A and B are shown apart, each in its own frame.
Chain A
Amino acid sequence: MADIIQYPLWQLPLLILMPLGCIAAMVICLRRLAHRKEIPRGEDPDWSVPSLDDDTGATLLHRWDVRAKIVTLLVYSFAVASLEHLTPSLLAVVLSLTAMAIARVSVVRVLLRLLALSGFLGMLLVVLPFTVPMHSGDTVLLFGGIQWLSFNVRGLLLAVTIAAKAVAIALLMEPLLATAPLPVTLNGLARLGLPEMVGQMVLLSYRYVHVFLHEARRMASGMRVRGFRKRTDLYTLYAVAGFLGMLFVRSFERTERVFDAMRARGYTGRFPEQGEFRLQGRDILLASAWILAGGALIAYDRIIL
């Protein structure tokens, strides 16, 4: 039978509001921080532009061969995602933080990634404790004797474990991507057997996301100037639909022009490669050490716990 602990009803809002409040406070702090430190507001750094200051060799992760880095981090991410207990998941977060520290990546960008995760994970933290089915041995908190609204501690643990795993993997994305220019990373992927066209498509669409974002912002400010304000009504939906339609018309036309211009400049389906790849002993050493760490986490998760 499950352990049932009774609480008066008034403590229930407290229990829900406290973590929600904590998350909200964290999100607000992160936003503040991100805004203060962010380069010009609203301008994402465009990684498709090759960086001029060649910072190869800056840290251990910068010097790591791109191919070894991609394979290692992918395998390791899957290992982390398949963990089932809280302690190894928290260890994975610590390991990711170490990798971040070694790679000396921008803290702001990492925080932005966590911010994007906070919505889904916050919902998980609130919903799972109330919806997880009751098992024998579970600790259940009841508020004011309402039977259908029981707070299951096992659900909370499950949600926290998932959050830890998601954070551990999200923290690794910056060390993976920011330690080499994007074209080099994509070339590395192509060397690993991904069709070359995929890398080109990623580069192209990444570049044009920025262009179309700019366009969308201009259209939005045009609408605001003419007095449009978003409300919950049919007219807003009509206006948003017109906005979408216009965005599609303009972008499809632009696409044709872009492609013509590319062909006029001699595009034959390939971009020139940047940099060269050399797989050395230390690349493999680092890769094996990292994958071993992932294996150790799984072993700890499945055998010891």
Chain B
Amino acid sequence: MHISDGVLPTYATVGGYVVSAALTAWSARKTRSQDLPKLAVVTAAFFVASLIHVPLGPTSAHLLIPGLTGALLGPPAFLSIGLGLLLQSFLFQFGGLTALGANTLMMGLPAVICGWIFQRYKGRTQKRQAIVGGLVGALGTAMAAIFLALLLGTGGEDFLGMAKLALLAHIPVIIIEGIVSAFTIGFLARVKPDLLRAAFTPASRETDG
């Protein structure tokens, strides 16, 4: 779920831009500069992954994957998500030019937090990685939903009811996201464990050899 133009008060949109810009700069510094073009290509893959719809009873929900992005990319995930949302609003017809900063914050911050948690608690066994991955996947979406509610809350009391409804509506998505993330991380742990090392961060490269 992305916030469209015209919902948030001006201080929230401008503030969202400022904080996002600062975090993007931090995220870019956490990425080795020669890896930036690679990060752009990987962003395209995450973008495509987020377009996948999962059936949910009579309707369907599309995956948000902030948790997975964070787990696989680490701190560069914020930059990656900002780039993805920019693409989305510029080129793929989803609006939200003025809400771009707030939207990036809403998805990017959970990703970075989830990435940190995943790298810290993933352990060594495949099973544990899958379980932590699932928890992180659910947590990422839950945090994104909470940020969404908080951002809507900046619009004043008129939007509080809407914020509560948005939180409720995210509960099934959180569960699905958790299950899919657990399976995906489990799959990667079996097929290509290298990917679970947050490949674009200099620190993790050095320690893991």
Q: Majority SS of interface residues in chain B? A: helix
In this complex, which of B90, B179, B195 has the most chain A Cβ atoms within 10 angstroms of its Cβ? B90
Contacts of B49 in A (CB 8 A): 244, 247-248
Interface size on B, residues (CB 8 A): 75
Stretch at the interface among B104-112, B113-121, B159-167: B159-167
Q: Quick check: A240 and B158 within 8 Å, CB to CB?
A: no
Q: Majority SS of interface residues in chain A? A: helix
Which chain A residue has the least Cβ–Cβ distance from B194?
A: A252
Which chain A residue has the least Cβ–Cβ distance from B65?
A: A244
Number of A-B contacts defined by CB within 8 Å:
229
Q: Quick check: A74 and B97 within 8 Å, CB to CB?
A: yes
Q: Quick check: B91 and A47 within 8 Å, CB to CB?
A: yes
Contacts of A247 in B (CB 8 A): 45, 48-49
In this complex, which of B7, B41, B48 has the most chain A Cβ atoms within 10 angstroms of its Cβ? B41
Tell me if A289 is interfacial: C-beta within 8 Å of chain B: no
Which chain B residue has the least Cβ–Cβ distance from A112?
A: B93
* Residues of chain A from 96 to 123 with CB closer than 8 A to chain B in the complex: 109, 112-113, 115-117, 120-121
- Name the contact of B5 in the complex, choosing from A47, A81, A241, A256 (C-beta under 8 A): A81
* Alpha-carbon separation in the docked complex, A181 to B161 (Å): 43
> Binary interface profile of A, 193-210, with partner B (CB < 8 Å = 1, else 0)?
000011011101111110
* Alpha-carbon separation in the docked complex, A212 to B86 (Å): 18
Q: Quick check: A131 and B188 within 8 Å, CB to CB?
A: no
* Residues of chain B from 59 to 107 with CB closer than 8 A to chain A in the complex: 60, 63, 65, 68, 72, 83-84, 86-87, 89-95, 97-99
Contacts of B22 in A (CB 8 A): none
* Alpha-carbon separation in the docked complex, A102 to B89 (Å): 22
Q: Quick check: A201 and B43 within 8 Å, CB to CB?
A: yes
